[in-house]
A and B are shown apart, each in its own frame.
Chain A
Amino acid sequence: MTQATIPQVSGRVRFGQTRRHVNVPEGLWLSCPGCNQMIYCKQMQEQLHTCPLCRHHFRVTARQRVDMLADPGSFEEMDAELASVDPLNFNARKSYRDQLAESRNRTGNNDGVLTGRAFIKGRPAVLAAMDFFFLAGSMGAVVGEKITRAIERATTDNLPLVIVSCSGGARMQESTISLMQMAKTAAALARLHRAGGLFISVLADPTTGGTTASFAMLGDIIFAEPRAMIGFAGPRTIANTIKVELPEGFQCAEFLQDKGFIDRIVPRSELRSAIARTIDYCGK
């Protein structure tokens, strides 16, 4: 799991009163991985964490994602207190407990997803955002439970559901328990579906493994951010299995749209309005 650096939090982001602040030394300039140009950090942040030159979409924390999508001050977080108990006592090379503690400190959250009620351009919704900076956004029992509760809340309250996925897949350190979260979230979505509820699934870079193979691919409408890596098996695993060089752009959002698995690629700047419009057409 890569130790991704948390992008600098912009000034307008407010943390919950109990949340620890993310302390990352502020760099003025950074090199954009999309165009290799030096860009001004502040400008990048002001443009929803995209490159002012090439529109490369930088990864954002769950909190930043919520702030980008929800109307200011409207996000009422649910189940923030849920935390993992390390059910397998997983201790292979690294202790899972240590990894959890480190991720908690780094992100200020108990686990890898934020869920809650929010207004999106004035439309009430249930919103969930996964956090790649928490153990690669992986889904264990906590993420699975929070997502399931969010789905159930959308079902009972008759609200549209928006989940922004950004995840390496099921969480290895909780093994089969993580795997079962795929079944649990999908079953909850089956009930939402049966009740006629709307689920907008937004896929951000990256969305892979067990997350893709469960709720992320079950949206009534599936949006993806430009160039987001989306797939099931990792590209290295595939290359090792079939011993063939993978085509250019394989498993990126554009590839998936081309193959018919994504409804539309939506740039971050248009995401809020795309969601709002979809709710107007499909929501109740």
Chain B
Amino acid sequence: MVEKRARKKKSNHAGKQRPAAAVADRTGGASVTAGESPAAERPAPVAGMGLAFEQPILKLERQIQDLLVLQEEKGVDYNAEIMQLRDNRTALLKKTYQNLTAWEIVQVARHPSRPQTRDYIELLVKDFEELHGDRRFGDDKAIVTGTGRITGHKVMLVGHQKGRDTKEKVACNFGCAHPEGYRKALRKMQLAAKFGLPIVTFIDTPGAYPGLGSEERGVAEAIAVNLREMALLPTPIVCIVIGEGGSGGALGIGVGDRLAMMEFAWYSVISPEGCSGILWKGSQNAPDAAEALKLTSGELRKLEVVDEVIREPLGGAHRNPRAAADALERYIDRSLRELGALDAARLVEERYQRLRRQGCRALQAD
């Protein structure tokens, strides 16, 4: 309540002043309003509500919202101010998202409202028929598999699912798959190859599940077998890192003819926290590790690890999942058209050559 009143007061204040000045005041960031209201009344960043570097943007958004409410309640015309604030928000979003550090990109990739596999399924897959289980041990909910249509293509879809609410997150182990998840994926991919369906995989995992059962049931073997089998499946495979690309757990469904990354996804052999733990004995240097690991889409495109970067809407996929899904859909459609033109032997040969090149630029003859 206190917070609401404080903001109302600010809004009134802004309304009476020359809008431009008020707006300029607000774009300055968190420190600007300190003079207007006691520090205790400033809205504290709530976990899950936004990322630290997004706070100035979220503040602008709240102000716009408040003005809209006020306009409704009091019947005063604030349209000019609102438009100005919106312009400022757009400018600030652009500026912020064009200059994200590697560590900030990791945060965006982990944003609680970032679209996940099931969101993209809803947004771009028609007639999705989920197929469960590995027929060996169980049904790992950290990997979703099933058939559906993407634009005109009938595909087999395989993707990590991290979970949205607490219950789903726990069921999915936060997107960390067990061996049965990789075996489930393989079974569905072999099915796809048998019936000539192309495969689309969405990668979004912090890594394979590090646990007792996971090791006992051979998670390393499961991933290794997927790498070997995916190399030869006689059907097009398009892989996209939509969020987190955590090491072997990501690669386990990530071998194919095309590898793309959403703009604010990351892909690395180890998480920044894990790398920091090894080098600095603690996770405090994760931002430095993120920088060193070259895990962003831009860096990986330069290194020729990924074929393409799929641009996200302004301010990241979580601000506009629809637009993100559209971009993703266009990429999948185009890739499947290109790959569909190749016969199976040529497809598999080119896939091998694509994998074969990996790292060859990192060599020299001493």
Contact B215 A181 (CB under 8 A): no
**Does chain B have a CB within 8 A of A218?**
yes
Question: A20-28, A37-45, A57-65, A80-88: which one contacts chain B?
Answer: A80-88
**Does chain B have a CB within 8 A of A176?**
yes
Majority SS of interface residues in chain A?
A: helix
In the complex, what residues of B have CB within 8 A of residue A92's CB? 275, 279, 285, 288-289, 291-292
**Does chain A have a CB within 8 A of B247?**
yes
Question: In whole angstroms, what is the CA distance A37 to B356 when docked?
Answer: 48
Residue in contact with A190 in the complex, picked from B211, B219, B228, CB distance below 8 Å: B228
Contact A213 B366 (CB under 8 A): no
**Does chain A have a CB within 8 A of B142?**
no
**Does chain B have a CB within 8 A of A193?**
yes
Question: In whole angstroms, what is the CA distance A60 to B252 when docked?
Answer: 31
Contact A184 B305 (CB under 8 A): no
Question: In whole angstroms, what is the CA distance A261 to B359 when docked?
Answer: 30
In the complex, what residues of B have CB within 8 A of residue A241's CB? 209-211
**Does chain B have a CB within 8 A of A12?**
no
Contact B232 A176 (CB under 8 A): no
Interface centre among B228, B251, B365 (most CB of A within 10 A): B228
Closest to A258 in B: B216
**Does chain A have a CB within 8 A of B214?**
yes
Q: How far is the CB of A105 from chain B (nearest CB, A)?
A: 13
Contact of A231 with B215 at beta-carbon distance under 8 Å, contacts A92-B275, A94-B279, A175-B295 already known: yes
Contact of A232 with B362 at beta-carbon distance under 8 Å, contacts A88-B293, A186-B227, A218-B228 already known: no
Contact B224 A83 (CB under 8 A): no
Majority SS of interface residues in chain B?
A: helix
Contact B364 A144 (CB under 8 A): no
Residue in contact with A232 in the complex, picked from B248, B293, B361, B364, CB distance below 8 Å: B248
Contact A172 B278 (CB under 8 A): yes
Question: A112-120, A156-164, A243-251: which one contacts chain B?
Answer: A243-251
Contact of A177 with B359 at beta-carbon distance under 8 Å, contacts A170-B269, A183-B251 already known: yes
Residue in contact with B366 in the complex, picked from A83, A91, A189, CB distance below 8 Å: A83
Closest to A211 in B: B220
Contact of A93 with B293 at beta-carbon distance under 8 Å, contacts A82-B363, A176-B268, A233-B214 already known: no
Closest to A261 in B: B218
Question: In whole angstroms, what is the CA distance A177 to B357 when docked?
Answer: 10
Task: List the 4 closest pairs (A to B, CB-CB), nearest first.
Answer: A141-B359, A233-B210, A186-B227, A187-B231
7 inter-chain pairs at a CB distance below 8 angstroms, sorted by A residue, are A81-B366, A85-B363, A92-B285, A175-B293, A176-B305, A238-B211, A242-B212
